[in-house]
Chains A and B, each alone.
Chain A
Amino acid sequence: MRPEIAWAEAMKFENRHDPYRFFDELRKTPVARVADDIYVVTGYWELLALAHDPRVSSDISRSPLQAKRAAAQEPPPEAEHLTAYGRQPSMIMSDPPYHDRARRQAMRQFGPPHSPDLIPSMEPGIERLCNELLGKAAGKTRIDIVDEYGYRVPVTVICKILGVPLEDEKAFHAWIFDFMAGLDLGPEAATEEGKVRAAKGRESTAALTEYLRGLIDGYVRKPGEGLLSRLVNDDGPDGPMAPPEAAANALLLLIAGHDSTVNTISHCVLTLLRNPGSVELLRRRPGLIPRAIEEVLRLQSAVQFFPSRSATADIEVGGTVIPEGSAIFLMYGAANRDPGRFPDPGRFDPERRANEHFGWGSGIHTCFGGPLARLEVNVALEVFLQRVENPRLVVDPPPYRRNQIFRGPQHLFIDYDRIREHS
């Protein structure tokens, strides 16, 4: 199969539940050209090298996708929405020193060394919420893990941390849904329906950006609770973050701050139920839960890739020269199943040794919120394992959402015998 065909297949909606067959095809050329100026990296070692190569830029304004977008009357599909995260670049789409400074400013309000207690302090609340949600499922025998369990926890937590009112959740949930559905890097983007989705996505993204700007402007005028307010009012060594930049990062933090966590919780449940004996194994040895979660992320990376990168020079890697100016997609989900790095890569093995997967990225853009997400997934899974008796999948594969980057089930129905009392 030619790389461009394998790539198009992997991006097609009908293959969302299993793009891995096509990734295996693609990996026959670990660094493959799939369009004039797009190189897709599916080999583990090649990806590792590029993720740490200072000649690879994440600055979206240097990406040919962005240039195309600016030049074309009708933006080509792969350029859609890349900058919709905000006119100002957020940290994920920028390079040092700008990136490092923005990340430091945000981290100051979020984690160590300046705010070491914030994330740990969330644990009791997360546990309470998980138990409440399962409590609601007590009288029934079927639950949608996405809508009725996985989603509620991270969205509640990130609102609290950022200082985004939870009352606004209905509104931004719908905007984010459109944003996700409209951001399409596959062949379907060019269809009429695809264009409609893209237009809707653009509108909703604009609305969401507007909403966050308003929120931040409010915090500039009157400081309040939460990370966003502290970000624009900080007097730390790097000073306060300028409001437009804070808005761009707020959008990133709000979306990245819950969506992938939901997908990971769903994939954890899905993977355990697909592999007989694993629920029992983790109940018997809860010490394995954290490793099982990482193994799920390896297999079902919630962020499959992030299409911001490009080459600032000709870069030789894996026998290919990526020409200066090309876009580079680091395919985390594909490299995570490279048999040259992970023996028996398709197998779920919670005891896998040296599981250095790319589910959280690699290099300086490694996930900012990883510790929070892990805490949420750990607690959600622990509570699920303690309380849900005899869980079974209702449909396999479950229906998936459209988005290729942020990949996860739309719904995940499971049946169970009963919900145990909360101990």
Chain B
Amino acid sequence: MSVELLSANHAAATAAILAGEANREAGGFGGGVYPITPQTECIELLCAHDFTKGEVVRVESEHSAMAVCMGFSLGGARTFTASASNGLAYMCENVFSAALYRLPVVMMAANRTLGPPWNIWVDHGDSLMLRDSGWIQFFCEDNQEVLDTTLLAFRLAEDPRILLPVLVNQDAFVLSHTMMQTDIPSQEQVDRFLPPLHLPHQIGDSPVTIGGLDFPHETEVHRKQHAEAMDRVFEVYEEVRREFEEVFGRKPEGPVVPYQLEDADIVFVSMGTTGSTVRTLVDRAREKGIKAGGLRIRIFRPFPGEAIRSALGGAKKIAVLDRNISLGLGGVTWSELKDWAPEGSLVQDYMIGLGGGDIRPEHLESLLEDLQKLEHEMHPKIVEVG
């Protein structure tokens, strides 16, 4: 175990390398990669690693990158790739395929605004575009969380009760290019945490057809199995968290991360790095006697509705900070969360930091003022901070 100054890009790659090596006695590591800002540093580090077994294949597009990952995964390799923004859009078809094949692929997305016009900064719209693709999705708040989540993502994905791909999201630049001291576990620890992968539908030497024609009645069954696997995620995740703590000595956060929620009237809901800004806001508000609280959604798929409902308790006003926009509707998180808010509460959507503007505590303070004045919900609002 060592502590190093790492960017979150490198944190993700480091975790993938450790996880890949942990599978050296079985199918090794596999990955198809294609660079895109702001993910490039991650795959550069990955490409520089000489795996004991397996390899990183540099391909000509994101679509092929995921295709290569699927091949590796079906062959029993522990599989990882990374992308962002329009790269994910181009990969989209195979993103669905990986999930529908029930392959435990892990992907890092350095969330970046979709273009054109071109913008390289953070926005969660790229990964949220894939919310219906059948992948599990995590949103991280700091470098260590990126490393830890990537490691546990493999464990979760490969659990025979789950067998689903996992997307580990990190904010472009705010995480991807920011260096902080990060604890890198030893290979021996990771070996203990991640046993060799045994995929039940792993292909062997004799030819088989995978993903042939599904008749309607078969599709119904497959979708049901997929949905049930999603339903088991939170339960399995609890086990994984505990085992993670046993091996690494720290416990990853749950699907939602509450802050000062016990008695909160006003709650700010966020995903990703905005969570830390929300905590600053809550501290400042509480100094003024306002009962504010924060809730960060860490697992977005499956959607942790129950956990949100119980965390929100008796909150009266809820501000959902959406760093994304579903055009023609509003923020994606807001639209999903509404149904789980306490009865009679006011849920206001603020789409803030679209295109990567720096969301500062002062911005949130003005939202708090706005929220305090509100008597009923307004149309989702776009807040400019850029």
**A and B bind:** no
B-to-A contact residues, CB < 8 Å: none
A-to-B contact residues, CB < 8 Å: none
